[in-house]
C-alpha cells in the first residue's frame, strides 16, 4: 500500500522548505561570523535582514547540531542581553569558519550554475549561436 504524499511534495512550498533546510547552517554561521548572538537574536536577524523571507522556527536543533560538529561554541559565562535577561550566546569556531567558507563556495558555484541555466532558458537563441 502506498503512503500518502506530503502536501508540500511536488509544490513550490516543498522546494522552499528544502532550500531553507539546505542553507540554514550557512546563514547562521554567516551571522555568527560577524558577532556572537543568542538563539532568539539569530532568528530575529535572519528575518530582519532577509526582509522576512528567511527564518528559523526551532533554532536550537541547528545550533546543537553545529555545536556537536564543533562549528560553534557556547560563550561562557551567559551574558545579559539587551532585553535584560541572561542569555546563552553562541560564537563561530575556527572549524566553523572553514566550514562556512566551503558552504559559501558550494552555494555560489551551484547558484551560479542555476542562474546561467535560467538565463540560457530565457534566451535560447543566444545559447544556439554560441555552439556554432
Which grid coordinates are listed for 123? 534566451
Its pTM stands at 0.82
- Per residue in 4-23, pLDDT (tens digit) is 555 677 888 888 888 888 89
- Radius of gyration from C-alpha coordinates of the chain: 19
Please give the domain boundaries of the chain with CATH numbers for all domains.
Answer: 12-96 (1.10.10.10)
Separation between Cα atoms, residue 34 and residue 43, nearest integer Å? 15
- Per residue in 98-107, pLDDT (tens digit) is 999 999 999 9
Q: Are 66 and 29 in contact (CB under 8 A)?
A: yes
Which grid coordinates are listed for 94? 575556527
Torsion region of 52: left, alpha or beta (phi above 0 gives left; psi -120 to 50 gives alpha): left
Q: Which residues pair with 87 in a beta bridge?
A: 79
Amino acid at each position: 500500500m502506498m503512503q500518502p504524499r506530503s502536501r508540500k511534495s511536488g509544490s513550490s512550498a516543498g522546494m522552499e522548505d528544502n532550500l531553507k533546510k539546505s542553507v540554514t547552517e550557512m546563514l547562521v554561521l554567516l551571522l555568527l561570523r560577524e558577532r556572537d548572538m543568542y538563539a532568539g537574536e539569530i532568528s530575529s536577524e535572519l528575518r530582519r535582514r532577509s526582509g522576512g523571507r528567511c527564518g528559523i522556527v526551532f533554532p536550537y536543533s541547528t545550533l546543537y547540531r553545529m555545536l556537536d560538529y564543533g562549528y560553534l561554541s557556547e560563550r561562557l559565562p551567559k551574558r545579559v542581553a539587551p532585553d535584560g535577561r541572561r542569555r546563552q550566546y553562541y560564537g563561530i569556531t575556527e572549524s566553523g569558519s572553514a566550514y562556512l567558507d566551503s558552504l559559501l563556495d558550494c552555494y555560489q558555484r551551484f547558484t551560479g550554475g542555476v542562474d546561467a541555466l535560467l538565463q540560457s532558458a530565457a534566451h535560447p537563441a543566444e545559447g544556439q549561436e554560441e555552439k556554432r
